[in-house]
């Protein structure tokens, strides 16, 4: 099968964009299947750091067709701004970008609503990105959404937008005490964005299915991580879409039998942004060192990430959810500075030991990590390009991750550059 799915196995920020970009030169097509501009995939392209929010991370490869699938919620203004931003960095976006006509739109009233709702929650705020993702998915489910295909006929789009904006303005003013959205100004901006996006609109599911039928290599790129899945993540501290491999068929129109192998991406440690339980969170000194060495700040929000140790319980849970067959371990080089590296092998919960990731948020909040100590290597891994280049203790750490997760590690990244990857087995 020529399909390959890349899934985050933690709370996002695992390096899926880097891995996608690394593999894109071997791929014919890269397909984003869920999420929106709340994603932040940072990759090194020709020595420059480029952040992708909506564009698939393979867009820097001119030979790859890049698809924004129907499961993505698309902010038209953000997409145009991103195209301009990466174009200024030397990445050309042309006919190789396809935007599905069924992708639901994130519009200015969605972002205003999300900001007002988060403010109203006060101390109970979830920590959303204020990108309007949740309200856009809510509109889709309540059958009030506007899809990307409407941008091709702006008169029809205008009618739908004015209808929805009127309802949302009443909500903003009467419930949240916020000023109404300037509808005329928003429409003026959106009309300019629509003209830019219209040439990229396409009915993409038949195109993706056709590529797979022809044996072309198709990469399916997810956003966020498995523990942020709306159904199986640490609810309510989750995103608003399905981030596991189950989201691929729903977000692309490709049947499950065609999606091919599933590869998970995990950091060699663990991070999390925002609120919610985090069993393996490190003490402030160790967390600070990880954050500094790993440049752990959100590419979308700029918020510092909470940092901790590798949680094998959580990653095993993600492996089971998506049927992950191999793992890519990213940022192994961040651990070069440690004499000893804690690894969570199980949880202590209510006086007993468990190897299962709790579905209950209260249970997860009470869970305490059971650590074993892996020896550090205290030497740079940055120049490694093949397994033999890694220090013996680093190779042993990778082997221990394999044993704890139950699947082989296909590759490990040892630096920010796209080529700074050690492959243990061919991925595509």
Boundaries of every domain in the chain? 3-101+201-262, 104-197, 266-423
Quickly count: other Cβ atoms within 10 Å of residue 401's Cβ: 23
Mean pLDDT on 308-332: 98
Residue 44 has pLDDT above 80, yes or no: no
Per-residue pLDDT of 392-425, as tens digits, reads 999 999 999 999 999 999 999 999 888 899 999 9
Question: Per the structure block, which two tokens stand in for 406?
Answer: 């139950």
Going by pLDDT thresholds of 50, 70 and 90, the confidence category of residue 302 is: confident
**pLDDT of 1 strictly over 60:** no
Q: What does the alpha-carbon distance between residue 278 and residue 367 come to, in Å, rounded to a whole number?
A: 9
The two tokens of residue 200 are 């990229």
Nearest in space to 278 (alpha carbons), one of 232, 314, 323 = 314
In the predicted model, is pLDDT for residue 300 greater than 70? no
Alpha-carbon span 267 to 16, nearest angstrom: 10
What confidence tier does 127 reach under pLDDT thresholds 50, 70, 90? confident
Whether 41 sits among the annotated catalytic residues: the reply is yes
Contact (Cβ atoms closer than 8 angstroms) between residue 104 and residue 73: yes
CA 358 to CA 314: how far, in whole Å? 9
Question: In this model, does residue 191 exceed pLDDT 70?
Answer: yes
pLDDT at residue 299 tops 80: no
Four-residue CA torsion sign, 305, 311, 313, 317? positive
Fold of the domain built from segment(s) 266-423: Adenylosuccinate Synthetase; Chain A, domain 3 (3.90.170)
Question: Is residue 368 scored above 90 in pLDDT?
Answer: yes
pLDDT for the residue 212: 97
pLDDT band, very low/low/confident/very high, at 125 (cuts 50, 70, 90): confident
Residue 346 has φ and ψ, to the nearest 5°, of: -165, 175
pLDDT band at 119 (very low <50, low <70, confident <90, very high): confident
Token pair belonging to 257: 């039998």
pLDDT, tens digit (0-9, with 9 covering 90-100), for 235-258 = 999 999 999 999 999 999 999 999
- Omega before 236 cis (within 30°)? yes
- The predicted pLDDT at position 419 comes to 85
Topology of the domain covering 104-197: Adenylosuccinate Synthetase, subunit A; domain 2 (1.10.300)
Rounded CA Rg of the chain:
21
Identify the helix (H) or strand (E) that includes residue 110. helix 108-121
Was domain 3-101+201-262 assigned CATH 3.90.870.10? no
Residue 161 — very low, low, confident or very high, per pLDDT cuts 50/70/90? Answer: very high
Catalytic residue status for 13: yes
pLDDT at 97 over 70: yes
Q: pLDDT category, 49, cuts 50, 70, 90? A: confident
- Give the residues across from 413 on adjacent strands: 421
State the pLDDT at residue 402: 98
pLDDT value at residue 122:
84
Orientation of helix 76-88 relative to helix 183-197, angle to 10°: 50
DSSP-derived letter for residue 35 is B
CB 191 within 8 A of CB 108: no
Quote the pLDDT of residue 390.
98
Choosing from 28, 41, 200, 311, which is the catalytic residue? 41
* Arithmetic mean of pLDDT over the chain: 94
């Amino acid at each position: 099968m020529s399909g390959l799915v890349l899934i985050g196995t933690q709370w996002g920020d695992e390096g899926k964009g880097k891995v996608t970009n690394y593999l894109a030169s071997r791929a014919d097509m890269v397909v984003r299947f869920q999420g929106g501009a709340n994603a932040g995939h940072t990759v090194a392209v020709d020595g420059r750091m480029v952040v992708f929010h909506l564009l698939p991370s393979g867009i820097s490869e001119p030979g790859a067709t890049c698809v924004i699938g129907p499961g993505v919620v698309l902010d038209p203004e953000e997409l145009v701004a991103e195209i301009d931003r990466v174009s200024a960095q030397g990445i050309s976006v042309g006919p190789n970008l396809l935007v599905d006509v069924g992708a639901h739109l994130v519009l200015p009233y969605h972002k205003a609503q999300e900001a007002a709702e988060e403010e109203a929650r006060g101390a109970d705020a979830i920590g959303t990105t204020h990108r309007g993702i949740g309200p856009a998915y809510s509109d889709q489910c309540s059958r009030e959404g506007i899809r990307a295909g409407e941008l091709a006929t702006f008169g029809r789009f205008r009618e739908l937008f004015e209808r929805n904006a009127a309802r949302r303005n009443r909500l903003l003013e009467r419930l949240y005490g916020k000023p109404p959205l300037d509808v005329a100004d928003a429409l003026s901006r959106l009309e300019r964005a629509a003209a830019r996006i219209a040439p990229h609109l396409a009915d993409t599911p038949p195109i993706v299915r056709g590529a797979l039928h022809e044996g072309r290599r198709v990469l399916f790129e997810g956003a966020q991580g498995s523990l942020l899945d709306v159904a199986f993540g640490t609810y309510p501290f989750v995103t608003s879409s399905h981030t596991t491999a189950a989201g691929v068929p729903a977000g692309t129109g490709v049947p499950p039998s065609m999606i091919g192998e599933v590869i998970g991406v995990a950091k060699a440690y663990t991070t999390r942004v925002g609120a919610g339980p985090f069993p393996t969170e490190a003490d402030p000194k160790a967390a600070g060192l990880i954050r500094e060495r790993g440049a752990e700040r959100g590419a979308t929000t700029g918020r510092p990430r909470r940092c901790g140790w590798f949680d094998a319980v959580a990653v095993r849970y993600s492996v089971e959810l998506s049927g992950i067959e191999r793992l890519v371990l990213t940022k192994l080089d961040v651990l070069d500075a440690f004499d000893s590296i804690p690894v969570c092998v199980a949880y202590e919960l209510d006086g007993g030991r468990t190897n299962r990731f709790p579905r209950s948020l209260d249970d997860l909040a009470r869970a305490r990590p059971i650590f074993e100590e892996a020896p550090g290597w205290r030497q740079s891994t940055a120049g490694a390009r093949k397994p033999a280049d890694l220090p013996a203790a680093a190779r042993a750490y990778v082997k221990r991750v394999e044993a704890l997760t139950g699947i082989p590690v296909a590759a490990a990244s040892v630096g920010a550059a796209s080529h700074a990857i050690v492959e243990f087995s061919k991925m595509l």
